[in-house]
Structure 1
Amino acid sequence: MDNNKIGSKPHFQILDGLRGVAAIVVVFFHLAEPLSSNHLDNIVNHGYLAVDFFFLLSGYVIGYAYDDRWDKFTFGGFLRRRFERLQPLVVLGMTLGAIGFYFTDSTIWPLIHTVPVWKLFVVMLIGYTILPIPLSMDIRGWQEMHPLNSVGWSLFFEYIANILYAAGLRKLSNKALACFVVLAAAVLLHFALTNPNGDVTGGWTLNAEHMRAGLTRTVFPFFAGLLLSRVTRPRYIKNAFLWCSLLVAAVLLMPRIGGAEHPWINGLYEALCIIIVFPLIIYFGASGVVHGQTEAKICKFLGDISYPLYMTHYVLVYFYVAWISNNKGITLCQAWPYALLTFGGTIVLAYASLKLYDEPVRAWLRKKLK
């Protein structure tokens, strides 16, 4: 923690930094994905688990920030605050995705050149609401609920978790919440072990299979984070940012386990990471103390760009994926300069989005929605 205040509470700088570390791994995961032959050999194999980490971190921070302040908040007031924080970059991501849509036409997305402008416009407007589009409105061909900005699906489930929390689950006693979290963990473990893919991926398509995956991936980590914020008290841990960052990277960069023959082994690994390892990382991160101005600046920078990076990076990744698909057989050695250039572009875009758009818009919304 540091001595900066949010209201009357200390601010967890290290957790901000860890969110940025996870967001960077997500970018690398998406840059490595088109170079893999299947879901078993991505060199950033478990990068998608960053989403589950984000959900747990979100539950922890929201519980810490709001759990004891509901005498000052209404349901609408809480959602208004979440809207101010989340929605501006949802709108920006969808807008940038629409602007670049026709320029990413390639063999991997056969529908793009057939999409009329009015349909693109309608999909963009629906995307602004973060509500999922039906499969009949798919304009890219990947069966995504947000084809203009692929990562939008996780924000849809983030809102669901926030609504469930504000609508009533926040009122659960610690014992009742613990029972709920244990049940959600059992559901997550069963899903991970029985999923034919041997992982917890899913949630981006509006159908029963993906809705189950999305809810399973959201409910346990979010409410486990909430429980963690209630029942633990941070202690003093040295070098927490360094060790937690390395642990986050190690979990997300871990190669596939079990192969095609024993997919349940990989599912077990992922379930244990979400149920045990991620809560420990959050606890250690919350217990850590920032050492010196350099580490403080790194944590602040990573925390500041984490959400803008997550919400805008896929706009550039679409161009990168189109280039890969239009150059069949390209190798990692050939692709890495373009991947590195794309990565640099995502950092610049994220920072520009933060300073030129997100911060000014959020300040304006705070004044308008008081």
Structure 2
Amino acid sequence: MSAPDTAQAPDRTAGGKAHFEILDGLRGTAALLVVAFHIQGITVLFDASRLLLPHAYLAVDFFFALSGFVVGYAYDDRWGTMTTRQFLVRRLIRLHPLVVLGAILGLISYLGDPFAGDRQPASVILVAFAFIMALLALPSAPLANRLGDSHPLNAPAWTLLQEYIGNLAYALVLRRLGTRALAGAAIVAAVISAITALSLGSYDTGWGLSNFWGAPVRLAYPFLIGLLIFRLHHRLPHFRIGFIPLSIVLALVFIVPVLPSSGTVKWNGVYQATCVLLLFPAIIIAGRHSAGGPLTRRLCQAAGRISYPLYITHYPFVYLYMNWVAGRGETTAITVVIACSLYFFTILFAVAAYRWWDIPLRSALQRMARGRF
């Protein structure tokens, strides 16, 4: 194969299927935006009036929709030769090495934080229990100075638990549903999702022990609609917008200020429900049918590869930054410098985690799985 041919060769999954590179790139865009939201949000104590990206936590709902689409694409046609056990093992191999890394980082961050002072007086038993549960992506009892997170050593891990629930539901039930039944389930999930957003005024739920009920609510509709989009994608309209315009759309969605209520109408909930129920599926449809040149493809591949490592490893470093900020009081120019430096550090760390942790562990686990299954 000549060099030009190599440059144009499509990126492939382990199963030999071509990646949807624009969707990979958009996953990276969403991850970069949510990390910026967390760092800047910690700086201003998540004061809605001071947030630069007040809706960026909706990246989680976008991730769930992408996951439903990708799981359907990767596995819908493999069930004749693949068992449920094999599917679940493959998904664990794909996702869990970085869950473990996030748990280790979270433990180090909690025990070795030089800025925490006396704000984290947790017992050894409680921290050990939290670490064991973190290794399994399960919620644990609250820890001091962790804002009520259901996964107190690595807050974003709550979404990985939901990811596993979605994958289990797919393997046991959803893959067997016809298109009409799947559409019906998506409609029911959409109604529940809309009621949640309109009642609360946002989708800011599911991340803590006090609002853990919101996690499966946030999972259900996006995952189902993503899977349904895959099943119907050849019959849906073709929108060719491209990676950069779609990334700008995501950024603009997240930048819109928090909207006020008017009487009994919580306009912020209306706005977020519109994004989750309508706009995000439209972005996936557009990304599914979009393409780019060699430079765009390489950019999307790189962004897609680090998106998950970035998302699941950045928060232990944000905890350190949180305590550093708490010890300083007012935001200063040095705070901005540290925040920006942290942002770029988390990206570099994600690249390292992908190359020297995720790839080697997944390769070793895949070899072991081939030997056993």
Shorter-chain TM-score above 0.5:
yes
Contact 2:129 2:140 in 1 (8 A): no
2:190 paired residue number: 185
Please tell me the residue identity of whatever aligns with 1:314: Y
Q: How far did residue 175 of structure 1 move?
A: 0.5
Contact 1:40 1:260 in 2 (8 A): no
1:360/1:175 CA distance change after superposition, 3 Å: same
User: 1:142-181: CA deviations, max 9, x gaps?
Assistant: 2222111111111111111111111112211100111110
Please tell me the residue identity of whatever aligns with 2:176: K
Q: How far did residue 120 of structure 1 move?
A: 2.3
Contact 1:104 1:319 in 2 (8 A): yes
2:96 to 78, 81, 87: 87
Contact 2:240 2:286 in 1 (8 A): no
Is 1:122 the equivalent of 2:129? yes
1:22/1:129 CA distance change after superposition, 3 Å: same
1:142 paired residue number: 147
Write the distance in 2 (CA, Å) between the matches of 1:176 and 1:80: 27
Write the distance in 2 (CA, Å) between the matches of 1:238 and 1:212: 37
1:158/1:40 CA distance change after superposition, 3 Å: farther
Please tell me the residue identity of whatever aligns with 2:134: G
User: 1:295-325: CA deviations, max 9, x gaps?
Assistant: 1211111011000000111121111111111
2:204 to 201, 212, 232: 201
Write the distance in 1 (CA, Å) between the matches of 2:95 and 2:158: 13
Please tell me the residue identity of whatever aligns with 2:204: T
Q: How far did residue 75 of structure 1 move?
A: 1.2
Contact 2:309 2:351 in 1 (8 A): yes
Residue aligned with 1:144, SS: coil
1:171 paired residue number: 176
Contact 2:130 2:141 in 1 (8 A): no
2:280 to 278, 281, 297: 278
Q: How far did residue 83 of structure 1 move?
A: 0.2
1:310 paired residue number: 311
**TM-score (normalised: structure 2):** 0.91
2:33 to 19, 22, 25: 25
1:358 paired residue number: 358
Write the distance in 1 (CA, Å) between the matches of 2:291 and 2:9: 7
Write the distance in 2 (CA, Å) between the matches of 1:261 and 1:237: 38
Is 1:230 the equivalent of 2:239? no
The RMSD of aligned alpha carbons is: 2.2
Please tell me the residue identity of whatever aligns with 2:196: F
**TM-score (normalised: structure 1):** 0.91
**Structure 1: tracts of 5 or more residues without a match:** none
1:141/1:308 CA distance change after superposition, 3 Å: closer
Contact 2:240 2:287 in 1 (8 A): no
Alignment of 1:1-370 (within 5 A): 3-6=10-13, 7-36=15-44, 38-104=47-113, 111-112=119-120, 114-135=121-142, 138-195=143-200, 198-207=201-210, 210-233=211-234, 238-258=240-260, 264-291=266-293, 293-331=294-332, 333-370=333-370
1:145/1:126 CA distance change after superposition, 3 Å: same
1:244/1:13 CA distance change after superposition, 3 Å: same
**Structure 2: tracts of 5 or more residues without a match:** 1-7
Contact 2:68 2:224 in 1 (8 A): yes
Write the distance in 2 (CA, Å) between the matches of 1:205 and 1:262: 26
Contact 2:310 2:347 in 1 (8 A): yes
Contact 1:2 1:11 in 2 (8 A): no
